Amino acid sequence: MTPRERARWARALIQECGGIDEASDNCSVGRSSLSNYQNPNVEQSMPAAVICELETYCGVKIYSRAMFEGGNEAVRARDIRDAASEAIEAAAELHKEVRRATADGVVSPNESDVIAQKTEQTVRHLRDVTALTACPSKGEAA
């Protein structure tokens, strides 16, 4: 794993947590260490415990998935395709619900709750796509 790859994965994970401040509030290291992990010119890798804490917090396996798959392009391509398909299907369900709820010109509280739930599902699927594409493939310039 190159320093640029480590920095890119760290940056993607920290961003998924809501940025450096939120990430530092939810792991065992401070802002300066998190900043160093994002810098390819600093010889400091993110410890496994911190990776676990941040991935648990944000709910997306960004860094560990990249380390585990490390260049298996067929698996990565399939996963990106599948995640994108799930996101599109979730968005279609959201659209269907919005059209149904707004057909009479009034959105009830129950309909609003269902729309919010469908929106959250769609966003979760889109985050999966983002996480998969944030992990550079082996040999890719970051």
Terminal Cα-to-Cα distance of the chain (whole angstroms) = 12
pLDDT band at 66 (very low <50, low <70, confident <90, very high): confident
Where among 18, 47, 67 does a domain terminate? 67
pLDDT tens digit sequence for 98-109: 999 999 999 999
Let me know whether 75 and 28 are in one domain: no
Q: How far apart are CA 95 and CA 142, in angstroms?
A: 35
* 134 pLDDT more than 70: no
Domain that holds residue 8: 3-67
pLDDT at position 128 = 81
Report which secondary-structure segment, H or E, holds 53.
helix 48-58
pLDDT band at 46 (very low <50, low <70, confident <90, very high): very high
Tell me whether residue 139 is in a domain: no
Number of domains the chain is built from? 2
